[in-house]
Chains A and B, each alone.
Chain A
């Protein structure tokens, strides 16, 4: 039982770490690149405007998709590794 418990606790820790990593990227592209750091990225031209604008209208959405699939893939692997899948 104790093993089961520490196994489960480790699984949860790994999950939380993964979520924090993904959310850091999520915040970086949307609040960072697209909004707050847009002036810093102004020097990088993209199709008639700057990189920040591209992140605001397309880049962040594309990143979000990648993040969700990445998370699903890593979590399903964690389910298997810790034997906690269905």
Chain B
């Protein structure tokens, strides 16, 4: 069977599974639609949360980020997992006890203000829409690479599949398809990693293999990797970073951003009890960690594999590393996977010194004494995971599995985001603010129409991605971390926090973060409109725009505290509401209005 047929078989079978689940899990009520009827087992919810959370970026890009950045990019690993600790202790159980359907529900009720509700709705929609663009483009890439359809068709197919199970099944359909998607994506991620760890270290468990001995050279894998990248003019893979303040703030921004992202928070509304919300956060992190503990192994091993593919003399025991770099492979001898990926333009070779060989090294280093005239190989980081099975010479069904896994990661996250967007529109905007008298049936219809509208918008943005697509992740995390997270946390932990304090805090955190991002990345990301060049010299105290979310959150807390204490305490019934959120007793199922 050809590779194309195998890919088609794997992806087609996974789609059939998702659609089957969707038919089985149709939503009958608004409660089914928004919170899956509130009856999801904590382990099931943990698995669905993991699929919801792990996007195309986690599946495809993270190992590449680690491979290129080494230790410095550990921030992503810690940030995207550490957020679950604060989510589990500071938000999830209390919001579950509160027992309504959405994040704006809590902010609007707790701060007894429709202004606060509206700010929350806007933050939620902007954060989720920017995030969903990346999922649609990611799914499009996976389709076009593996199913040989055009990018446009790929995105339309993705949109159609999500439409089927999200519009009809709502949260219920999404939850159970996400469970299936988690299983597909974790198997797809782990199998190639196990084989590669076996090949390089003889240890089948990637997370242990990474810290054990590299078989071919007899020295520890990471020491070997340091030596190899060093010989090519790069800094050590494990090298420490100088700007610790920025590293701390970036990690913290990712953590508070993770905890504040609405599509993750609403997953905890689906479990039956407060205690379940606590356990569920733990299970979610277990399932996420299965991938996140493997990713650094995939990253380091792929980096080593790539280097030793180009410089075969560096693979074994090396006496003199400089000498070992002198015989890179001839371009015409490049391996098959190299040729396949060259066709996509994600690997490119330009023979600058016309010696017919491939020189790959850090362009910043001067190796003219070796007769090199510049780095000749450009490798897009995103292909590492997708090309992994081919690099390790694994059978073609593993490639088919990777295709299904990448698509599962993108679709599961897209569905979760679309649900968060549609519930903000149908529930918070239409039902709560515009027309409280709308019937259950009418609200369901509104929810489905806004879901379909959100899918169309996401498809349009996926087909015509704004030039700033890559930067918008910073925006999503900045907004969630600097505005939503502090407001939610203060709503639970401070009885004294009033409407004015919360609104002032949210706006201050949001505006400061946006100003800082726009100053360096351009107003609304329009190229050329940035007021300062985006270089570390220009950053205030060396804080990058991506790390500013944590500062925005601190500003939010400070402003809210000052304004709240200068104005009246919230009314008694709000203080009672805070009391009731704090104690699990009497939670019951998520209530309708």
Contacts and interface: CB of A to CB of B under 8 A. Distances in A.
By secondary structure, the A interface counts as helix
A49 B222 contact: yes
7 contacts: A23-B89, A31-B252, A47-B222, A64-B85, A65-B286, A75-B275, A79-B275
Interface residues of A, number: 44
Interface in A46-66: 46-50, 52-54, 56-58, 60-62, 64-65
Contacts of B71: 53, 56-57
Given A48-B222, A76-B278, A64 B77 contact: no
Interface residues of B, number: 54
Given A54-B211, A57-B71, A86-B585, 9 more contacts: A30-B78, A49-B211, A49-B222, A53-B71, A57-B77, A64-B85, A64-B285, A65-B282, A65-B289
Interface in B234-269: 238, 240, 244, 247-248, 251-252
Interface of A: 8, 11-12, 15-16, 19, 22-23, 26, 30-31, 34-36, 38-39, 46-50, 52-54, 56-58, 60-62, 64-65, 67-69, 71-72, 75-76, 79, 83-86
Contact of B275 (A48, A83, A86): A86
A28 B528 CA distance: 41
B586 interface: yes
B240 A38 contact: yes
Given A31-B248, A61-B81, A76-B278, A85 B240 contact: no
Nearest to A83: B585
Contact of B212 (A31, A36, A47, A65): A47
Interface of B: 66, 71, 74, 77-78, 81-82, 84-86, 88-90, 93, 207, 210-212, 219-224, 226, 238, 240, 244, 247-248, 251-252, 273-275, 278-279, 281-282, 285-286, 289, 292-293, 296, 493, 579, 582-588
Contacts of A11: 583
Which of B71, B223, B273, B274 is packed against the most chain A CB atoms within 10 Å? Answer: B71
Nearest to A32: B248
B77 A36 contact: no
Contacts of B86: 23, 26
A19 B89 contact: yes
A80 to B, nearest CB: 10
Contacts of A72: 88, 275, 278-279, 281-282
Contacts of B286: 65
Nearest to A52: B240
**By CB atoms of chain A within 10 A, which of B86, B89, B281, B292 has the most?**
B89
A54 B211 CA distance: 9
B238 A62 contact: no
Contact of B585 (A50, A62, A76, A85): A85
Contact of B82 (A48, A53, A57, A60): A60
Give the residue among B220, B224, B252, B585 with the most A Cβ atoms within 10 A: B585
Contact of B285 (A19, A30, A65): A65
A62 to B, nearest CB: 7
A68 B281 contact: yes
Contact of A86 (B78, B282, B586): B586
A85 B296 CA distance: 40
Contacts of A50: 238
Contacts of A86: 273-275, 584-588
